Amino acid sequence: MPTILQALVDRRSERHFSNRPLEPEVVESLIEAFRWAPSSNNRQPWRLLIAKDAASIAAYDDALSEGNRTWATAAALKMVVVGNPDEQPDRNGMQSFMLDCGLALENLLIQGCALGLTTHAMIGWDIDKVTSAFAIPAPMRPVALVVAGYRGRIEDLPPDVQAKDLKPRTRKPAEEIVVWSRFG
């Protein structure tokens, strides 16, 4: 049975990076993984902003929460997932552009891990700083930050960050999250 289950199980959000730059074809493959995500009505209400010049990389680092700044600044590739609500109408009272953006983000994370990279999504950042530093036009909004890079050495991280990376990965058991037929 062909399956990508093992790749999904092996994906993990680590925090260590080497200073080796990513080859252009590696960056292209991350972009391709992002681009081929499914979306409602194939609206693709997303943009992938990549911090390229020194000023945008510095602004990226500055917008991170203090906790994320301790490790994410070392990543070779710094990206912002930007969503456009106008390109995907809300459904059932839900901002469904966020769902589409999340699927594209996960595609990128999985491809990164399959390539042996450290890839890590972040919610810890300042929305005003990100919006203004990257001139994100309304009604678009940043949805997630995500970094990628070749793996480094866990021993080089500060002890508190090492502890986070060494924490065993856990998930709720299937019996807790799968509902057969109906709730109750």
Ligand X SMILES: Cc1cc2nc3c(=O)[nH]c(=O)nc-3n(C[C@H](O)[C@H](O)[C@H](O)COP(=O)(O)O)c2cc1C
Residue among 21 and 124 whose Cβ is closer to ligand X: 124
CB of 131 to ligand X, least distance (A): 17
**Long-range contacts, stretch 55-63, CB < 8 angstroms, 24+ apart:** 56/133, 56/134, 59/129, 59/133, 59/134, 60/130, 60/133, 60/145, 62/129, 62/133, 63/125, 63/126, 63/129, 63/130, 63/133, 63/145
CB of 112 to ligand X, least distance (A): 12
Residue among 54 and 123 whose Cβ is closer to ligand X: 123
**Long-range contacts, stretch 88-96, CB < 8 angstroms, 24+ apart:** 88/39, 88/40, 88/41, 88/43, 88/45, 91/40, 96/40
CB of 157 to ligand X, least distance (A): 12
Residue among 144 and 184 whose Cβ is closer to ligand X: 144
CB of 24 to ligand X, least distance (A): 26
Residue among 24 and 173 whose Cβ is closer to ligand X: 173
Separation CA 147–CA 108 (nearest Å): 10
Residues in contact with ligand X by CB under 6 A are 12-13, 68, 121-124, 144, 169
Give SS3 for 56.
helix
Residue among 44 and 68 whose Cβ is closer to ligand X: 68
CB of 106 to ligand X, least distance (A): 8
